Amino acid sequence: MAQNDFKTENESRPALIRAMGRWDLTAVGVNQVIGSGIFIMPATVAATVGIPSSLLPWVAAGMANALIVLCFAEAGTQFREAGGPYAYARTAFGPFIGFEVAWMMWVTRVVAQAALANAFALYVGRFWAPATEGPGRLLVVTLLLGGLAAINLAGVRYGSLAINFFTISKLAPLALFLGVGIFFIEPGNFEGMFDLSGGTGTFGAAVLMLMFTFGGYELITIPASEARSPRRDAPRALLLTIGVVFVIYFLVQLVAVGTLPALDTSDTPLADAAEVFGGSAFGVLIALGGLLSIAGSNAGSMLTGPRLTFALSDNGQLPGFFAHVNGRYRTPDVSILIYLGIAVALAYSGSFVQLATLSVVARIMFYMTTCAAIPVLRRRFEAPADAFKLPGGMLIPSLALIVCIMILRSASAADIKGGGIALLVGAVFYLMAGNAGKQS
């Protein structure tokens, strides 16, 4: 058996500098995972299973993602080159499955972009009430997505500057919320924690929605070409990321439940809780921090999402128009405009929760592919000396697959159908690009 070094199509390009260490990769992961969901989901989960019980789905979602992360950790040790889930699927199952994984990663991003735009409108609604529904919501969504697209059309440098600006303030509101709120928790708010009959939905539906807030750690495995020791550091960074994120999320929900009696009816739960224990000025401060964080997540998705279809087209796996580059600004204008149009249409058509759930369905599909790739990669390649290998044979990958299936069972038939349609559209584009019959 041979060791695997996934190669890109163009091997004549200069090699990237390997400068990223374990903590650099962990920072990438935490920054990618913690975004807008945590500013909305505490209320959504409380409404689904009841306020006192709303801590429990976070524990279940954390455990589910830990199993999936372990599969990513082993798969990542087989590769020293870039690619992440796309590389794992392409190597294990061939170019078509690899393409479908990359395509579903794009679908996940564009649907999540629409969900994030609606989350932004909810927080704008704290300052301008019409932003939460009707024409006001459409106006906010259009201005946000259109503005970010215009920035990215003007050049990647401007898109990167926007992300850097928002990233600086991403964790600050959460740190303030936890640092102050932890001292105002009312223990009585947790009575009846194990009674799951107090909400409007099921425990499984709550876990499904929370998968949205945990998504993004798979991106740690993509910049493998720039890590000093990817086989050693990427698995540890993945595990550190999921651990840090879970602790932050659990504490945020703990403070929200312990301080906001009407958590299940709030559109802006962290800001409303902050107002309860810190006064109106503190509530406004957390709301502004939430707006910056959500805008930052939108900016990141608007930068990276269109460049995924550009890369696939540039590699001959999507029709050529996706790879069109603007002659003046040197940006992938067609990919950006297509991404913008779909994101705006989706944002108009659904709520934050509906779109977040649909994006989770798309995400879990490529999570399952990575879990299923583990036994194939084990058979095909000899594990390097410094590789991370899961104990217990196929136990953990099997459990991860079972958990993914159980979570998908909580999705609506419409969401599953939407995921299936997305796969079919991807297959059509793949064939349009002339990929039929291509070998890996």
The answer, yes or no, to whether residue 226 has pLDDT greater than 60, is no
Structure tokens at 143: 């201005």
What pLDDT score does 299 carry? 79
**pLDDT tens across 54-96, in order?**
999 999 999 999 999 999 988 877 776 656 888 899 999 999 9
Q: What is the mean pLDDT of residues 296-312?
A: 81
pTM as predicted:
0.85
Mean per-residue pLDDT over the chain, rounded? 85
Does 18 have pLDDT greater than 60? no
- Which structural domains are found in the chain, ordered by start? 39-432 (1.20.1740.10)
Q: What is the pLDDT of residue 12?
A: 46
- If you average pLDDT over residues 401-418, what whole number do you get? 94
pLDDT above 70 coverage of the chain, percent: 84
Integer Cα distance of 314 and 37 in angstroms? 32
**What pLDDT sits at residue 227?**
59
pLDDT at 177: 95
**Closest C-alpha among 142, 90, 134, 162 to residue 366:** 90
Residue that wins the pLDDT comparison between 405 and 320? 405
Reference 114, options 159, 144, 74; nearest CA is 144
Looking at residue 21, its pLDDT comes to 65
Secondary structure of the chain as H, E, C letters: CECCCCCCCCCCCCCCCCCECHHHHHHHHHHHHCCCHHHCHHHHHHHHHCCHHHHHHHHHHHHHHHHHHHHHHHHHCCCCCCCCHHHHHHHHHCHHHHHHHHHHHHHHHHHHHHHHHHHHHHHHCCCCHHHHCHHHHHHHHHHHHHHHHHHHHCCHHHHHHHHHHHHHCCCHHHHHHHHHHHHHCCHHHHCCCCCHHHCCCCHHHHHHHHHHHHCCHHHHHHHHHHECCHHHHHHHHHHHHHHHHHHHHHHHHHHHHHHCCCHHHCCCHHHHHHHHHHCHHHHHHHHHHHHHHHHHHHHHHHHHHHHHHHHHHHCCCCCHHHHCCCCCCCCCHHHHHHHHHHHHHHHHHCCHHHHHHHHHHHHHHHHHHHHHHHHHHHHHECCCCCCCCCCCCCHHHHHHHHHHHHHHHCCCHHHHHHHHHHHHHHHHHHHHCCCCCCCC
pLDDT for res 22: 63
Q: Identify the pLDDT of residue 401.
A: 97
Displacement of CA 247 from its chain's centroid (Å):
18
Identify which has the larger pLDDT, 212 or 78: 212
Residue 228: predicted pLDDT: 66
pLDDT confidence of residue 426: 92
Q: 15-24, 227-236, 427-436: lowest mean pLDDT where?
A: 15-24
Rounded CA separation 40/47 (Å): 12
Lowest mean pLDDT among 131-140, 221-230, 418-427: 221-230
- Interval 286-309 mean pLDDT: 84
